[in-house]
Amino acid sequence: MLRVPVIAMASIAALVPLAAGSAEQPKTLMTRIIEWRYPDAQISGATMSDVATVDDQGVRTEPSIQCKALLTTADPIDKVFDYYHSKLTKKAAATTPDKSVAPLPGSPGRAVTFHSDTEGRPVRIHVISIISERMSTTLVLSRATGESKTHIAWSQYERFNVAPEKSELTVE
């Protein structure tokens, strides 16, 4: 029973370097979280798991993973929101691009959306979505009236392209 999930996860881990298209080592869960971590936020409840990306017939189409973590900070929610908003809306002419939110090489770019649901409620909620060709990241910031911590629910979904490039298929 346990062998199938272990074999599946080992297979995905072996394919990730091919999917990334480079000799880089695959990112660990903690590496991914640290890229998105609000400064000095406490990390708890982190997971990384295989996701069955399927077509409309239910057939698996490609390897994919989902990562999740809950982070907390004593900083006010507006300060946390401003941090992520600033990080994600940097001008394209910035001298040092932020690699944690940059699109994959050769991709058409990324979309960033912000949504708030706070007006007249006892809880303040901000949802931030970052979507690129093969990855989506969501940050849900929340803080209820009377709470001492702002919660940052982080999740990331990534699809891996393991198809060989055309140059690898041609025989000379």
DSSP codes of every residue in 12-26: HHHHHHHHHTSSPPP
**130 vs 119, higher pLDDT:** 130
141 touches 123 (CB < 8 A): no
CB-count exposure of residue 62 (10 Å: 0-12, 13-18, 19+):
middle
Q: Where are the domains of the chain?
A: 3-161
CA angle, residues 160, 22, 63, in degrees to nearest 5:
15
Q: Which of 51, 118, 126 is nearest to 88 (CA)?
A: 126
- Examine the pLDDT at 143 and tell me if it is beyond 50: yes
Angstrom distance (rounded) from CA 30 to CA 22: 20
Mean pLDDT highest for which of 80-94, 97-111, 127-141? 127-141
Q: pLDDT at position 81, please?
A: 97
Q: What is the mean pLDDT of the chain?
A: 78
pLDDT tens digits, 7-50: 444 444 444 444 444 445 678 899 999 999 999 999 988 999 88
Q: d(Cα 12, Cα 19) in Å, to the nearest integer? A: 10
**Structure confidence at residue 95 as a pLDDT band (50, 70, 90):** very low
